[in-house]
A = this chain, B = another copy of it.
C-alpha cells in the first residue's frame, strides 16, 4: 500500500507518530465515533497511532486495521494489547489487493495514507466498493503547503519543499490535504463534507510548541536532511538554515500553523 514510504520505518519515526497522535487527537478525532455493532475498516493503520484512539472512542464497534508492513502491524498490535484494547483485529494487506467482499463494511477510515499513494482516487474507489450503502468514509490528510509561521523564512520554506519533492519522487503528494473534496467525489462518494483542522501554535501553548512544532513537524523535515542533500535538492548550509528558522518559530514571539483536512462522505443508497 505504501509506495516508497518517505518517512521510513525506524524507531524515531514511530516516536514521532505517537507524539503527533497525542497532541492532535482532539483536533482530528473529536467528531469521529462509530455505533456499537458497526464494522469499521481502517486502511493503512501503520504503527497504530490512530487505531488506539479510534477503538477507544467507539468501544462497541469492531475494527479491522490493515497495513502493508508486517513490522508496523506488529508494533500496532503490541500497542493495542498493552492498552487492553480488544475490538481491533489486524491484518496484513495491500489496499490495491484487498481480501474483503464488496459491501462488507459499515465504515471506512483512512488517515495519513493517501499522501503516500500515486493513485489516491483508485485507492478510495476500491475502499468505496467495500462500503455498505449508507456507510461512511472518513479521510484525514495533512498539507505541507498550508504551513505558515512567524518569523517567516524563505530558507524554512525551501527545506519544507525538499520534503514535498522527495515525497513526490516516491510517488506521493505532501500537498494532498486541500484536494480531499475532489478526490472523494471522483471516487464516487456522496454528500462529501470537508473541514479544515488548523493546528495553531504560539507561546501560550507550550505543549503544542513541543508536541507539534518541534517533535512532529520540524522533526519530520529534519528527517529528510540527508536524503535531500543526496538528491541535490539542498546543501547542508541551506538546509540547516531552514531548520534553524523552524526552531526560531518556537521562541516566545514565534507562531506556527499547519492544516489538516478531514473529509467525510457516504456511499449512496440505491434509488
Contacts and interface: CB of A to CB of B under 8 A. Distances in A.
Interface of A: 143, 145-146, 148-150, 152, 175, 178-179, 181-182, 185-186, 192-196, 198, 200, 202-204, 252-255, 257, 259, 261
Interface class of chain A by DSSP: strand
Given A150-B179, A193-B204, A194-B204, 11 more contacts: A146-B148, A148-B259, A150-B178, A150-B182, A179-B255, A181-B204, A181-B255, A182-B253, A182-B254, A195-B200, A259-B259
Nearest to A254: B182
Contact of A257 (B152, B178, B254, B255): B178
A158 B255 CA distance: 24
**What is the copy number of this chain in the assembly?**
2
7 nearest A-B residue pairs (beta carbon): A182-B253, A181-B202, A196-B200, A196-B198, A150-B178, A178-B255, A146-B148
B152 A175 contact: yes
Contacts of A145: 148, 152
Contacts of A200: 194-196, 261
Contacts of A261: 200
A43 B178 CA distance: 35
6 contacts: A145-B148, A146-B148, A150-B179, A181-B202, A182-B202, A194-B202
A175 B150 CA distance: 10
A148 B194 CA distance: 15
A143 B181 CA distance: 23
